[in-house]
Structure 1
Amino acid sequence: MTNIHFIINPIAGKGIRYLSMDLLKSIFNVEEFTIVIKYSKYKRHATELTQNSITEDAHIIVACGGDGTINEVASCLINSSVKLGIVPMGSGNGLASNLNIPRKILNSLEIIRKQEVIKIDVGRVNQKYFFSNTGVGFDATVIKNYESNNKRTLIGYILACFTSINELKHPKKLKIHINDTQFEIDPFLVFISNSNELGYKFSLTPKASLQDGLLDVLIITKINKLKMIWFGFLVLIKKPLLLKEAQYYQTKQIKVQNKKQDYFDTQADGEFLKIKNETLTIHIDTKALNVISPILA
């Protein structure tokens, strides 16, 4: 018998989401699968539920929610034989889209039933795992503002972007260590990605791959508000690197230092995160997670 646990964020995306036992039994034959359903109730609760499922000998743990829920579940499964399944229920669903997992629940459940597994790379910023992206600067400010409003939709992201343009305070003189070089910048954005999609089909790192053993890094120096709007347009047309101030790298590790303060305002997989350290060390763990997914395009 395959022991499969579903960890569901019921308020992911646009509203209340539930998966009934009857629906799951219609996909997963009870003669082959033991089905357990758990609902998260607060931030980080999905991590607790996942840890409990591991002690309960789950063979597959399915994260049902957005990138934040997937992060909480998947962070417990690094270098484990337990397989991660994904039912995308969030607003952006960037990682699921990069993995070619469909948004329709029945279709994503059918993929999980087939149990075709691939190994993907995992990013880590200090001791925090990320699977899609992390960053310092504008994107972290956007996520902070997005979390403070109640609109878990594309409109909510757009409103958070405009709010962030008006209030962004640039970190001063960050020192970057990457590919045996060092330099200092006043950044608008330092964006580090493991996947090629943010969500809603937007991308800042179109060359990124979940399986190439590399992080893709986009660095943009301080720009004025007019150029911020121009950059937003370039993102919409999927050509962010046309911005003159943009620099693009691929690397296994990057260090970001800030001597002016002992913390960073960052984001990881669309969740705001304050890291109390003057140095961020971001690196890649290759092929560290077993994910049930169609073959990557």
Structure 2
Amino acid sequence: MIAIHFIVNPVAGHGRSLLTKEFLLPYFIRSHHHLVVKHSEYKNHAIVLTRESITQKADIIVACGGDGTINEVASCLVGTSIPLGIIPMGSGNGLASNLRIPKNLRKALAIIKERNVTKIDVGKINDRHFFSNMGIGFDATVIKHYESSHKRTLLGYVNACLTSFRAMGKNNGLSVNINKIGRVDNPFIIMVSNSNEMGYNLSLTPKASLQDGLLDVLIISKISRLKMLWLAVLILFRRVYWLKEAKSFQTKELRLARNDTAHFESQLDGELHQIEKGVLEISIKEKSLCILVP
């Protein structure tokens, strides 16, 4: 008997992810699969539920939701032999898209039944994990406005970008020392990617890979609003490197240190996080997460 535990975020996808055991049973073989369905009720509750499922000897744990839910569940599985399954029900679905896991529920469930396991790299920032990307600067500001709008749609993301665009220049003062390149004042964005997608099929690091043992780093220095519009066009065509203010490289580790006493406001896998430290130690944990893929 294969025990499959589903950790469901009931508010993902405009509340369409109310998966129940009764709904899922027809997709599985009753004599072969034992299903458990748990619904998260607050932020980080999926972590509690996943740890509970680990102690209950689950054979597979499935994250049902967006990149934030996947991050919470997957973070508990790093370094274990329990494979992560994904039912993408969020708005961006960056990691699922990179792994070619379809949004179609029947097809996504078929991947879980087939149990084709691979291992992917995992990013680590201080004591937290990320699976797609993390960033400070403009993208963190966008996520901040995106979350506050409560509109988890592409239009909501576009509106968050426009709000951040209008506010650009009001919060200058960030100065960061980066161990690979030195001091950067008022960077537009510093992004560290493990995956080549950040949701909605958009990418700032199209050459990033989940299995190359390297992090892809993109640093864009301070730019004008006009250059921002040009950057938006380049993102659509996955040609960010055409921007002269953009620097990119690959590394296994990175250290960012603020030149003041403030903390970092960053996004991890599309979720806003206040990191109460002025130093970020970022590294890669090679092939440390088992995951079900087509």
Normalised by the length of structure 2, the TM-score is 0.97
After TM superposition, give the deviation of residue 233 of structure 1 in Å.
1.5
Specify the code of the residue in structure 2 equivalent to 1:129: H
Deviations 1:184-228 (A, max 9, x none): 343000000000011111110010000000000110000111111
Are 1:95 and 1:132, in contact at CA under 8 Å, matched by a contact in 2?
Answer: yes
After TM superposition, give the deviation of residue 166 of structure 1 in Å.
1.9
Equivalent residue runs for 1:144-159 within 5 Å: 144-159=144-159
After TM superposition, give the deviation of residue 238 of structure 1 in Å.
1.7
Determine the C-alpha separation between the residues in 2 that align with 1:159 and 1:49.
33
After TM superposition, give the deviation of residue 133 of structure 1 in Å.
0.3
Is 1:81 matched up with 2:57? no
Specify the code of the residue in structure 1 equivalent to 2:277: N
Q: Is the deviation greater in 9-18 or in 185-194?
A: 9-18
Are 2:154 and 2:200, in contact at CA under 8 Å, matched by a contact in 1?
Answer: yes
1:199 is paired with a residue of what secondary structure? coil
Deviations 1:57-105 (A, max 9, x none): 1110000000000000000001001110000000010000000101101
After TM superposition, give the deviation of residue 35 of structure 1 in Å.
0.4
Aligned to 2:219: 219
Determine the C-alpha separation between the residues in 2 that align with 1:170 and 1:86.
39
Specify the code of the residue in structure 2 equivalent to 1:282: I
Aligned Cα root-mean-square deviation (Å)? 1.2
Tell me: CA distance 1:22–1:172, structure 2 relative to 1, closer, same or farther (3 Å).
closer
After TM superposition, give the deviation of residue 171 of structure 1 in Å.
4.6
After TM superposition, give the deviation of residue 146 of structure 1 in Å.
0.4
Are 1:254 and 1:282, in contact at CA under 8 Å, matched by a contact in 2?
Answer: yes
Specify the code of the residue in structure 2 equivalent to 1:145: H
Equivalent residue runs for 1:156-235 within 5 Å: 156-168=156-168, 169-178=171-180, 181-235=181-235
Aligned to 1:240: 240
Specify the code of the residue in structure 2 equivalent to 1:44: N
Deviations 1:243-275 (A, max 9, x none): 110001110011111021330000100000011
Are 2:65 and 2:87, in contact at CA under 8 Å, matched by a contact in 1?
Answer: yes
After TM superposition, give the deviation of residue 116 of structure 1 in Å.
0.3
After TM superposition, give the deviation of residue 126 of structure 1 in Å.
0.7
Specify the code of the residue in structure 1 equivalent to 2:174: K
Are 1:47 and 1:76, in contact at CA under 8 Å, matched by a contact in 2?
Answer: yes
Specify the code of the residue in structure 1 equivalent to 2:210: L
Determine the C-alpha separation between the residues in 1 that align with 2:286 and 2:116.
19
Determine the C-alpha separation between the residues in 1 that align with 2:17 and 2:175.
44
After TM superposition, give the deviation of residue 182 of structure 1 in Å.
3.2
Determine the C-alpha separation between the residues in 1 that align with 2:173 and 2:104.
40
Are 1:134 and 1:192, in contact at CA under 8 Å, matched by a contact in 2?
Answer: yes
Aligned to 1:115: 115
Determine the C-alpha separation between the residues in 2 that align with 1:72 and 1:256.
24
Determine the C-alpha separation between the residues in 1 that align with 2:250 and 2:215.
6
Give the share of equivalent positions with the same residue, in percent.
Answer: 52
Are 1:130 and 1:269, in contact at CA under 8 Å, matched by a contact in 2?
Answer: yes
Normalised by the length of structure 1, the TM-score is 0.96
Are 1:205 and 1:216, in contact at CA under 8 Å, matched by a contact in 2?
Answer: yes
Determine the C-alpha separation between the residues in 1 that align with 2:12 and 2:249.
33
Determine the C-alpha separation between the residues in 1 that align with 2:98 and 2:5.
23
Specify the code of the residue in structure 1 equivalent to 2:179: H
Determine the C-alpha separation between the residues in 2 that align with 1:171 and 1:66.
33
Determine the C-alpha separation between the residues in 2 that align with 1:226 and 1:107.
43
Tell me: CA distance 1:171–1:283, structure 2 relative to 1, closer, same or farther (3 Å).
farther
Are 1:137 and 1:170, in contact at CA under 8 Å, matched by a contact in 2?
Answer: no
Deviations 1:151-177 (A, max 9, x none): 100001100011111224245321111
1:30 is paired with a residue of what secondary structure? coil
Determine the C-alpha separation between the residues in 1 that align with 2:140 and 2:173.
12
Q: Is the deviation greater in 169-178 or in 104-113?
A: 169-178
Tell me the matched-pair count.
292
Q: Is the deviation greater in 26-35 or in 206-215?
A: 26-35
